[in-house]
């Protein structure tokens, strides 16, 4: 599978990464060599093999639906690049 420049640009858009011309060229090359290497996985017949997303047999670890103390609003906003009246302020969305 050869990644085209257009595909690399698409992936960058999905990942919300702005890339320079040079970066697009470099990443296209490097990603292709990594993917070429990863192609060896195709040698394995895994049709009847279950995927392992998680190694420990824990499922649906839940707790009681009881209100507990969490981080204060002050703490949550403490690292905000731009906070205003209890909100995170960002450039215009619409």
Binding site for other proteins (CB under 8 A): 1, 3, 7-8, 10-12, 14-19, 23, 27, 30-31, 33-35, 37-42, 44, 46, 49-56, 58, 61, 63, 71, 75-76, 78-82, 88, 90-93
Q: Of the two residues 25 and 78, which places its CB atom closer to other proteins in the complex?
A: 78
Q: Residue 72 CA to chain centroid, in angstroms?
A: 27
User: For residues 12 and 37, is the Cβ–Cβ distance under 8 A?
Assistant: no
Positive or negative CA dihedral for 23, 26, 28, 32? negative
Q: Of the two residues 10 and 25, which places its CB atom closer to other proteins in the complex?
A: 10
């Amino acid at each position: 599978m050869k990644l085209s420049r257009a595909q690399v640009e698409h992936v960058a858009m999905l990942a919300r990464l702005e890339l320079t011309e040079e970066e697009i060229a470099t990443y296209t090359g490097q990603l292709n060599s990594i993917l070429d290497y990863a192609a060896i996985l195709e040698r394995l017949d895994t049709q009847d093999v279950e995927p392992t997303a998680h190694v420990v047999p824990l499922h649906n670890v839940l707790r009681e639906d009881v209100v507990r103390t969490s981080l204060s609003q002050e703490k949550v906003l403490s690292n905000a690049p731009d906070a205003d009246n209890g909100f995170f302020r960002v450039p215009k969305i619409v």
